[in-house]
Chain A
Amino acid sequence: MNFFTKRPDIYGLMAEFDAPEKLLAGAERAKRAGYREMDAFTPFPMEELTDALGIRHTKLSLFVLCCGLTGMLVGFFFQYWVAVIDYPLNIGGRPLNSWPQWIPVTFELTILFSAFGAVVGMIFRNGLPRPVHPVFNVDRFELATKDRFFLCIEAIDPLFDKEKTRKFLESLKPDHITVVEHVHTKDPYHQGED
């Protein structure tokens, strides 16, 4: 969304389905109808939604690779620096750069850095921690972690129109349709923004 455009009055419209196949069919129809700013909320991962929602393939693995390489270089050259430069120990005239013996620590640090990358990268790229979010305003949303499947068309979508989008969602025959309000904060410093 452009920074200067006015923020829509509401966050979006949420449809609730009682089965994964209904959600999937709904998401595919919404895509055909031209909606792009959508999200689905499910109790377990549904790989089939990737296409329908136009989720771009994550670059997390590239990030993890970079983290792993960093760990490898840090691990190896730290040991090199310690054993060759900062604290050289002459053990029977053997070479100071005894790199085969540094492999275990180098390996462990590669794994450690990569794993941190995989976890931290996932959490922060997902925008978590975020305890407050507009979708939590939906009454029955706590069922999204149980047995209900939600499809949300966001108001920032160019095709979004309160009436037309609601009609469209009704045609998908969901159990409920809810207007998703923005988060109304009680924080006095931010009053009036919403």
Chain B
Amino acid sequence: MAEHKHTTLVEQPEPLVSPKETYGSITDKIAGDVLSTKTPKAMMITLAITSALLLVFVLAVGAVLLFGPGVWGNNNPVGWAFEITNFVWWVGIGHAGTLISAILLLLHQHWRNAINRFAEAMTLFAVMCAGLFPALHTGRQWLDYWLLPYPNTMGMWVNFRSPLIWDVFAVTTYLTVSFMFWFVGLIPDLAAMRDRAKKHWQKVIYGILAMGWRGSAHHWHRYEMSYLLLAGLATPLVVSVHSVVSFDFAVSLIPGWHATIFPPYFVAGAIYSGFAMVITLMIPARRWYKLESFITDRHLDYMAKVMLATGLIVFYGYLTELFFAYYSGSMYERFMMYNRIFGPYWWSYWLLIFCNGVTPQVLWFKKVRTNVALLFVISLIVNVGMWLERFVIVVTSLHRDFLPSSWDMFRPTIWDWSLYLGTIGFFVWLIYVFVRVMPMISIFEIKHLLPWRGRKIDTSADAA
């Protein structure tokens, strides 16, 4: 990322952990928030809304299971619309979690220690939401296990030459590795929770999950190696996952999809939308749980910078698409681009340019990056923009392909919308459960940032 290269650091940045925190106060604060029975009032109110959306989700899934994918607005040229749009959107959101926990670890970005746990949880839940869409879109959902290669009486195998099976492997691997990474990071904190818990059943549950972790120096040594290896493995994995997702499009021959720019452009977009979602979720969480001494304004500033950098890459991708549609000399490519900009879905393209091309430009200003309310609004706009990007790619390419006789319009039905909004409810609901039962900030990694004689953590290189 470009912003790591700037080394013109003049003033001393504020410390990553507020100087008034001690080892004890960090543990008491983060573990205490989980063990306390008090839930912030604002969280209760939003939980009510989220739970309502969760019911919508149950209803929407039920509708598809009972009546089949015919309840959606899909038709013949547009064989998949919201399903793949939402799938890509959710997987992309998940990618920021891995970026924060793995890539920033390898780059020695210490500020990640405050947000990695939360972002990893977000990854897990986002990938769970993502996986639902293709699983429901198969039509006969009870046969979804056919996606896996297993010896069967039909004597058949999956087609390993198809990007769709690559997707199955990429996404399941991603979910598994993300879960393991998250769990390994949790082990020492689960032990801390076990030791802080007052009630017997809490001690038992955290105790079982902590597996008897005792903080032995021999264990830490192996633990750190394991964590580093996982970070090194997750880094190429996250790049491969969204590349494979983009192959779903790029390997086909549809105008607007068949482009070599897709893998890098998708990966950048994934990180961009993921950081937007991290900011969307972190700002309320930080406020409600009063975590300002761990998630400082400096953290928000850095996240906004990453968002700006990846946003610029995404915008460059849009410009490249325009250029190549012209430069290809292909009638179909040129028409596709014309249709995107001036066709019946013109509003989605222009809204996309507004959300992803214009809006992030205000992040050049430090005043904006440190203005929490404004940053929250921008992150919401970016989330919408990234959803629109996938919608534009999927629908405008499909609805008018090579033969005008097969052209048609896609109109989402109430079930399309309810399933989409429902997964948002499901996602936020899972985040709420996570915040109530697990420490949302990594306790031991925050302690690692406190300076002591004999060791000073140099954070001046952190995204200065």
Contact = CB atoms under 8 A, between A and B. Distances in A.
B142 interface: no
B216 interface: yes
B207 interface: yes
Given A60-B226, A61-B229, A119-B230, A44 B445 contact: yes
Interface in A32-46: 39-46
Contacts of B447: 43-44
Looking at chain A's contact residues, is the secondary structure mostly helix, strand, loop, or mixed?
helix
A15 to B, nearest CB: 14
Interface string B436-464: 00000001110110001111000000000
A63 B302 CA distance: 36
Contact of A39 (B183, B218, B236, B452): B218
Interface stretch (A5-13, A126-134, A156-164, A168-176): A126-134
A135 B214 CA distance: 8
A109 B224 CA distance: 23
Contact of A105 (B27, B165, B214, B226): B165
A118 interface: yes
Interface residues of A, number: 64
Interface stretch (B57-65, B155-163, B278-286, B355-363): B155-163
Contacts of A129: 211-212
B99 interface: no
A53 interface: yes
Interface in A62-117: 64, 78-79, 82-83, 86-87, 89, 98, 101-102, 104-105, 107-109, 111-112, 114-116
Given A40-B217, A102-B160, 5 more contacts: A55-B217, A87-B156, A111-B233, A118-B233, A146-B192
Interface of A: 19-21, 24, 39-50, 53, 55, 58, 60-61, 64, 78-79, 82-83, 86-87, 89, 98, 101-102, 104-105, 107-109, 111-112, 114-116, 118-119, 121-123, 125-126, 128-133, 135-136, 141-147
- Nearest first, the 8 A-B pairs at minimum CB distance are A147-B23, A122-B226, A129-B211, A142-B195, A145-B192, A104-B166, A45-B220, A130-B212
22 contacts: A20-B454, A24-B454, A39-B216, A41-B216, A43-B27, A44-B447, A45-B444, A50-B221, A55-B217, A58-B221, A64-B229, A82-B160, A98-B161, A104-B163, A104-B166, A108-B240, A119-B184, A119-B230, A126-B216, A130-B212, A144-B195, A144-B214
